[in-house]
Amino acid sequence: MLMKKNSYSLDIDQRSQKTNQLSGDDKVARITEAENYALSVYEADESLKEFLGPRADDSVAKTAMYKQIMTEGYCKLEDLPNDVANKYTLNTVDTYLIGAGIMSDLVTSTLELVRTQDEKRRIKSSTERAAEKAIESD
Of the candidates 57, 59, 60, the residue with the CA atom closest to the CA atom of residue 92? 57
The pLDDT value recorded for residue 67 is: 92
Q: Is residue 47 in some structural domain?
A: yes
Number of domains comprising the chain = 1
pLDDT in tens, 21-49: 666 655 555 667 788 888 888 888 888 88
pLDDT in tens, 102-114: 888 777 777 677 7
Q: Is residue 120 in some structural domain?
A: no
3-state secondary structure of 15: strand
The band of 56, judged by pLDDT with boundaries at 50, 70 and 90, is confident
Instruction: Report the C-alpha gap between 34 and 36 in whole angstroms.
Output: 5
Q: Is residue 46 in some structural domain?
A: yes
Q: Is residue 125 in some structural domain?
A: no
pLDDT higher than 90, residue 70? yes
Please state whether the predicted TM-score (pTM) of the whole model is above 0.75.
no
* Parent domain of 13: 6-81
**For 38, what's the count of Cα atoms within 13 Å in the CB-facing half-sphere?**
8
